[in-house]
Amino acid sequence: MLSAATAARDLALGHDAVCVSHQLPIWTVRRFVEGRRLWHRPDRRQCGLASLTSITWDGEDIVTVTYSEPAGAASRRPGFGA
């Protein structure tokens, strides 16, 4: 997943790139980039429906990983897949 994100970064040099994936690949690459162990409890993932996880590079170095939920609390209500 990190290789795909890096390739997207290289192809979009100077612009934003968007990659779409399922929860687990996003969560594992985030944990890897943050230097955390990859095994985890799935019920504790910070990866809501329609959430965004952003990786920001400065050259070859990852400088930030941010998380947001533009859909807000609606994505966590019963019946909305969370």
* Per-residue tokens: 19: 């990659």
- Report the range of poorest mean pLDDT among 11-15, 29-33, 55-59: 29-33
Asked if 38 and 17 touch (Cβ cutoff 8 Å), the reply is no
pTM of the model: 0.71
CA–CA distances in Å: residue 61 to residues 4, 21, 58, 64 = 15, 22, 5, 9
- What residue ranges do the domains of the chain occupy? 2-70
Interval 43-66: pLDDT, tens: 666 667 778 889 999 989 999 999
